[in-house]
Amino acid sequence: MAAEKPHPGTHDMAEITLDLLGLKCPLPALKARKALKSAAPGDIYHVHCDDPLAGIDIPNLLNETGDRLIETLRDGGRFTFVIEKR
């Protein structure tokens, strides 16, 4: 079976890990904004943070950018935000 070629103007979805552990407000949101700005639609970001304010800042950022929060995972004081670039 032949592999399907992507349509012109499309790309393979990328999965990117963004390690923002140890950064304090507002740096996690600012760095996430910068990364998402250069992302292509459909890219998936796994954003790791340990700043308690990231639980508020990252969802608020996504409300501004229109990108989609797929999932928020919390393990003790660490957050992982799974984000789809739109």
Residues involved in catalysis = 25
Task: Give the 3-state DSSP-derived string for 6-61, with helices as H, strands as E and coil as C.
Answer: CCCCCCCCCEEEEECCCCCCCHHHHHHHHHHHCCCCCCEEEEEECCCCHHHHHHHH
